[in-house]
Amino acid sequence: MRPDALPWSIPTQKLFEKTGNIPAEEHRTLIQRRVEELKDEICALNSLHNSLSPINRLPPEVLSDIIIQGSSESRKEGVLWIRLSHICKRWREVALDCAALWSDISFLKPALTSVMLSRTKSTPLTVHIDTAYCQATPRTYDALSGILSSSDRLQCLTIDDKGKNRRLQLRKALSRCTTAPILKELRIKSRGDNCLRSGFLKGGAPSLVHLKLSGCIISDWNAQVPLGVGLQILDLSAGTVPFQPRPSGKDFLSSLGNLPLLHTLRLTLFLPNDRYTGHPALLAPIVCRSLRTFDLHDSPVLISKFLRVVHVPDVQNMKIHTPHPFRTNRPDFTELLTALHMSWKSVLDAGVRELRLVYEPLTAFHDVWLEFDGPVGRHHSSETAHTLDLTGLNVQVDADTVIHGVSQCWTLEPLQILDIDSIMVAEAWATTLRDLPNLRHITIVGVSMLNFCNAFNKEQEVAALTQAVPFPALEVITLEETMLPPELFQKLPKALFYRSLSPPGFKVVISHCSGITEDKYQLMGNILPHVEVVWDRRG
Kindly give the confidence (pLDDT) of every residue in the chain, 539 residues in length, as a single tens digit, with 9 standing for 90 and above: 455 566 788 888 888 888 878 898 999 999 999 999 999 999 889 888 887 888 777 888 888 888 777 776 655 555 556 666 677 777 888 888 888 888 888 887 777 788 888 888 889 999 988 877 776 677 888 888 888 888 899 999 999 887 666 677 788 888 889 899 999 999 999 887 778 887 889 888 999 999 999 988 888 888 888 998 999 999 999 877 667 788 888 889 999 999 999 999 999 999 998 877 654 445 578 999 999 999 999 988 899 999 999 999 999 999 999 876 565 555 568 888 999 999 999 999 999 999 999 987 777 788 999 999 877 656 555 567 899 999 887 665 468 888 888 898 899 999 999 999 988 888 888 888 888 999 999 999 987 888 888 877 655 555 555 557 788 899 999 999 888 888 888 888 888 887 888 888 899 999 999 999 999 888 888 888 888 999 998 86
pLDDT of residue 280: 43
pLDDT of residue 47: 82
CB atoms near residue 387 (< 10 Å): 16
In a domain, 311, yes or no: no
Residue 361 backbone dihedrals phi, psi, to 5 degrees: -65, -30
Number of domains in the chain: 2
pLDDT of residue 231: 96
SS3 194: coil
In a domain, 216, yes or no: no
What is d(CA 469, CA 487) in angstroms, rounded to the nearest whole number? 24
In a domain, 460, yes or no: yes
User: Is there a contact between 235 and 266 (Cβ–Cβ < 8 Å)?
Assistant: yes
In a domain, 463, yes or no: yes
Range of the domain at 455: 416-539
Candidates 402, 408, 404, 401; CA nearest to 388 is 402
What is d(CA 333, CA 480) in angstroms, rounded to the nearest whole number? 28
Percent helix, strand, coil in the chain, to 5, is: 40, 20, 40
Taking the whole predicted model, whether its pTM rises above 0.85 is answered as no
Q: What is the DSSP string of 335-367?
A: HHHHHHHHHSHHHHTT-EEEEEEEEETTTTEEE
In a domain, 257, yes or no: no
User: Is there a contact between 459 and 471 (Cβ–Cβ < 8 Å)?
Assistant: no
Q: What are the CA-CA distances from residue 378 to residues 340, 421, 518 (Å)?
A: 20, 31, 48
DSSP letter for 3, please: G
Residue 178 backbone dihedrals phi, psi, to 5 degrees: -100, -20
In a domain, 8, yes or no: yes
Residue 409 backbone dihedrals phi, psi, to 5 degrees: -90, -35
In a domain, 426, yes or no: yes
In a domain, 17, yes or no: yes
For helices 24-51 and 10-17, give the axis angle rounded to 10 degrees.
Answer: 160
Dihedral of the CA atoms 303, 355, 461, 534 (nearest 10)?
-150
What is d(CA 275, CA 279) in angstroms, rounded to the nearest whole number? 10
Q: Which of 35, 51, 67 is the last residue of a domain?
A: 51
SS3 44: helix
Contacts of 398 (CB under 8 A, 6+ apart): 422, 423, 424, 425
Residue 186 backbone dihedrals phi, psi, to 5 degrees: -135, 120
Bridge partners for 375 per DSSP: none
